Amino acid sequence: MNQSVHIPQPAPCWSDRLELGEGIRWVDGSIVLVDILTGRLLSAPEGDDRTGPLEVLAELPVPLGAVAPVEGRPGSWIAAAGTGFWVIGADGTTEQLARPEEGCTKVSIRMNDAAADPFGRFWAGSMSYDEVEGAGALYRMDRDGTVTKVLEGITVPNGPVFGPDGTTMFLADSVCGVVRKYPVVPDTGELGERSVFTTLDSGSPDGMAVDTEGGLWTAVWGTGRVHRYLPDGTLDRVVRVPAEQPAGICLGGADGRTLYITSARVGLSAPGPLDGAVFEVRVDVPGLPTAPYRPEWV
């Protein structure tokens, strides 16, 4: 592990303490994130003040896993929420597009983490509320709106995230402590044979991000840490977070070198003062731009 690069402890910012802060993204000069179980889409207010509350952009009547911006519709978002896919308008209105998990199994399912790839498709994982083994799946929404189940037998999917050229996808199965990688066919979104990128000895890989060097960052739930891995899967560095359950991460800021970290209070019997906070810290390698969903129907 590279010990030569010192990264200070991340500092808390904004006053919110979220139940399950996840899906953080840097979009158009600001962060957006979700508080999954409350269905809220949140954003940092304009300006440099880090002491006040986050701004509520929209509130859905179902759990909200993650969003991506919609190209050609400023302020609009494609969302993995409830049992499927929604569009959130710039005015906060919502429209459900598809419900691939509606009534599919005997257990109650919700959408979890999600992201767009560099080719304009939107990918989203699903999981059971009770984390039933193998009950989750990964779905792909193509640019024409077609929804395809591309993987199944996942317990708690987090990610996916994509390498710099979009031809590699990383997907965590958090309960299993493993991050896998898959080749992606650019034209179709079809996945090739999977391989294990890394397996954690403790904690669970949660939200992830990729930087311009192809390094993979992941929040490690239950450990108060964020890891960075080299492209070959070697652990490169560890960032210690003053919250037990770091959950989502992104690289943003004006130069892409600010690491933002969400955390969660859910499940903690005695949450500390910083559990559920959003944190920030400077790092040396910038992140990749947040890819938009590029629907053909815009």
**DSSP-derived secondary structure for 192-259:** ---EEEEE-SSSEEEEEEEBTTS-EEEEEETTTEEEEE-TTS-EEEEEE-SSS-EEEEEEESTTS-EE
Distance CA 164, CA 271 (A): 37
CA distances 34 to 58, 59, 117, 171, 276, Å, are 10, 10, 19, 19, 12
Distance CA 40, CA 33 (A): 8
Distance CA 260, CA 51 (A): 15
Q: Tell me the two tokens of residue 168.
A: 């590699």
Of 113, 117, 173, 206, the active-site residue reads 206
Residues contacting 201, CB < 8 A, separation 6+: 177
Task: Check if 232 is active-site.
Answer: no
Distance CA 109, CA 209 (A): 25
Beta bridge partners of 32: 25, 43
Which residues belong to the active site? 206
